[in-house]
Amino acid sequence: MTLHTITLARPQVLPQNTDCDCCARHLVEALRGRAGVAVARLDAAALILEVDGQVVGDTEAEQLAREAGASVTQRYNHPVFAVEGMDCADCARTLERGVSRIQGVHYAIVNFTAAKLRLEYDREQTSSEAITAQAQRLGYTLRLPGLAAGATSYDTTSTTQYVCSVEGMCCAAEAGPIELALRGLPGVQHVAADPTLARLTVRYDPQSLNAGRIVAQVEQLGFRVTTKDEGRRTKDEGNDSSSIVDRLSSIVKARPKDILTALCGLLIILAWASELLGAAAGVTAGLYVLATLAGGLFVARNGWATLRATHTLDINLLMTVAALGALLINRRLPN
């Protein structure tokens, strides 16, 4: 056996994935089993082959490496998905672990700041559809590479867009569970909850879903959904009402969270005042408990609804547990 060395630059054999170390390793593994190739290894940006000159000539060895590189490029895909639904670094880790468990996925890296998922997978073992389906089960939406690279808008010929206001959605911690719950509905293609404007936009297939189902899912989480027409009608009805009691009743029904928040603040002031005036400790403690219940009612309800709908613990439920724990631990208020 007469061995001699052939050195090839990566771009010669991997023109499309020159910088991918995984593809380079796949290439080396593929070449090690070929007849006449005794050694195949990487050295920086070069592929080094030691071949038996009696079996494989220099030209044949280079052609062999090019064919192996083309096979590797065709077999392994490296898409970059845009991720929708991530609102914390823990979400990124959950998505990484979930996608990495798919057979055929060699690595999955999530950039939380850019909301991107970069991965490599074996086309013979899995597909983009399987990966997006796994992400959907975890509560995230992946935009396919074709849409991200070429398309600038969704196909609206077979979809319907529903836009509404969501009362009570004031932060990302509340918008996240809404998006997560709606993505689980059949026919939903896109969900965007904007807590700054308290606005929800859903794009869906009308053959699989309707607006009533969307509203019911959101209200199940403890929020109130209104459209422009409904808001205008409520305002007109309030102006036509001649009874003060009716007006107050409509205000309470329209803004229950604000009423309970104001009541919570009032109870805290009363508890503080009763403590300063030397009232019985039981009275002061009772006022604080009532303030906690008034301020935490909707928080607890939203947390429980999110747990039932998405089987996940959100910040509302965690705060409820913390508040109950504080009440149980600190049963005796300081004098």
**CA distances for 159 relative to 15, 95, 122, 146, 187, angstroms:** 40, 27, 32, 19, 9
DSSP state for residue 106 in the 8-state scheme: E
Helical pair 281-310 and 172-183, crossing angle rounded to 10 deg: 30
Q: Are the CB atoms for 298 and 257 separated by under 8 Å?
A: yes
pLDDT, position 242: 47
> What is the three-class DSSP state of 326?
helix
Distance CA 197, CA 55 (A): 71
Average pLDDT over the chain reads: 78
- DSSP β-ladder status, 46-52 and 116-122: unpaired
What are the pLDDT digits (tens) for 261-270? 888 889 889 9
160-233 has the same fold as 3-76: yes
Share of the chain above pLDDT 70, in %: 81
Distance CA 38, CA 86 (A): 48
- For residue 110, count CB atoms less than 10 angstroms from its CB and return exposed for 0-12, middle for 13-18, buried for 19 or more: buried
Distance CA 49, CA 5 (A): 6
The set of residues, in sequence order, having a beta carbon less than 8 Å from that of 308 and lying 6+ positions away, is 220
pLDDT, position 246: 66
Q: Are the CB atoms for 22 and 106 separated by under 8 Å?
A: yes
Task: Please tell me the number of Cα atoms within 13 Å of 87 on its side-chain side.
Answer: 18
pLDDT, position 105: 92
What are the pLDDT digits (tens) for 11-60? 778 776 667 778 888 888 888 878 888 888 887 778 888 887 778 777 88
Task: Indicate the domain borders of the chain.
Answer: 3-76, 80-149, 160-233, 255-329
Q: Kindly list the strands in the beta sheet with 3-9, ordered across the sheet, starting from the edge strand earlier in the chain.
A: 3-9, 46-52, 37-43
- Whole-structure pTM value: 0.43
Q: Are the CB atoms for 174 and 302 separated by under 8 Å?
A: yes
Nearest to 52 by CA among 90, 4, 20, 91: 4
Residue 64 has pLDDT above 70, yes or no: yes
What are the pLDDT digits (tens) for 284-324? 888 888 888 888 887 787 777 667 666 767 777 788 888 88
Other C-beta atoms closer than 10 Å to the C-beta of 2 total 8
What are the pLDDT digits (tens) for 190-246? 787 877 778 888 888 888 888 899 998 888 887 888 875 554 444 444 444 446 766
- 3-76 placed in CATH 3.30.70.100: yes
Mean pLDDT of 124-141: 86
pLDDT, position 191: 80
The set of residues, in sequence order, having a beta carbon less than 8 Å from that of 250 and lying 6+ positions away, is 234, 237, 238, 241
- Let me know how long the chain is: 335
pLDDT, position 305: 67
The angle formed by the CA atoms of residues 156, 162 and 164, to the nearest 5 degrees, is 150
Residue 161 has pLDDT above 60, yes or no: yes
**CA distances for 230 relative to 235, 258, 294, angstroms:** 9, 20, 28
Distance CA 156, CA 143 (A): 16
What is the architecture of the domain spanning 80-149? 2-Layer Sandwich (3.30)
Which stretches of the chain are DSSP H helices?
10-13, 21-32, 58-75, 89-100, 128-138, 145-149, 172-183, 211-220, 228-240, 244-254, 256-276, 281-310, 315-329
- 160-233 placed in CATH 3.40.50.11060: no
Q: Are the CB atoms for 291 and 267 separated by under 8 Å?
A: yes
pLDDT, position 230: 52
